[in-house]
Amino acid sequence: MLTTDDLQVFTDHVRRTMFECAVTLDRPQAAEFWPLSTPEYRFQHTLHVRRFVERLQAEEGGDLELLQTSAIFHDISHFSTTYDQHGRVSAEMARDYLTSHRSSTGEPFPADFIDRVFLTIDDHASDKPSSYYLDEVPLESMLLIEADLLDKLGPNGAFAHLLLSGANHRLWQAALATIERDVIGRGERALGNDGKRFHLTPVARRMIEERLAWTKHFLAEVREDVACLF
Ligand SMILES: [Fe+2]
Ligand SMILES: [Fe+2]
């Protein structure tokens, strides 16, 4: 149903929306979270999440076009609303876009496809009870959540937290502690919650473990190379 042109048009729309909304957004704490608070970071993250859903889908199955579309739109509202609301608002913005545009072949997007995109995006940041995520969540919702997490781990997660640490004038020890807590800790919490709050797919579990192993190795190498930690 979708062509590569459609996916590129979605991507261009999301990029434009993020950058335009970020200009008018007045968020006093943004400087404290630089570069994580920038549209540059958020758009890169969007591209990474699309790449991860494609890798997960190749092994786990699921509807590839639904996953690609949901990944591209999943954080579109990041500069338009609060963090707590961004799952629902991104879902609404995706639905509005898809109902008011046609595909590159001139066809409207099917209503059931739009409904499933809405649900998948809403599920990635909602307050549904954990019983939903344990028993009823569709595979595509799960894969989007996993892809969203995977980008926060590994090389990109470590590098982003080094930039964040530098912006906040943290030196070596504090920067390493940030990576330990916010990158490695985040991945380990997800592995520890497997089966309690949701069931990770086997491929996501393996990729989380691989990315955590890389980050732990990186941290160990830096610690050994830095003679004096302040
Ligand atoms: Fe999100
Ligand atoms: Fe995200």
Question: What is the DSSP-derived secondary structure letter of residue 93?
Answer: H
Q: How far apart are CA 171 and CA 189, in angstroms?
A: 26
Sign of CA dihedral 149, 150, 152, 154: positive
pLDDT at 229: 60
Query: Does 152-230 carry CATH code 1.20.58?
Result: yes
Model confidence over 122-138: pLDDT tens digits?
999 998 999 999 999 99
Contacts of 161 (CB under 8 A, 6+ apart): 175, 178, 179, 182, 183
pLDDT of residue 55: 98
For the chain, percent of residues with pLDDT exceeding 90: 90
pLDDT on residue 230: 57
Interval 10-56: pLDDT, tens? 999 999 999 999 988 888 788 889 999 999 999 999 999 999 999 99
Of 162, 189, 184, 185, nearest to 174 (Cα)? Answer: 162
For the chain, give every residue range classified as CATH 1.20.58.
152-230
Q: How far is the centre of ligand 2, averaged over its atoms, from the C-alpha of 75 (Å)?
A: 5
Question: How many angstroms separate the alpha carbon of residue 220 from the centre of ligand 2?
Answer: 28
Instruction: Please give the distance, rounded to the nearest whole angstrom, from the Cα atom of residue 135 to the centre of ligand 1.
Output: 22
Structural tokens at position 155: 């090389």
Lowest-pLDDT range of 15-29, 159-173, 178-192: 15-29
pLDDT for 227: 75
Surrounding ion ligand 1 within 5 Å at CB are 75, 125
Tell me what the mean pLDDT of segment 84-96 comes to.
98
Distances (CA, A) of 49 to 110, 200, 202: 24, 16, 18
Say how many Å lie between the CA of residue 36 and the centre of ligand 1: 12
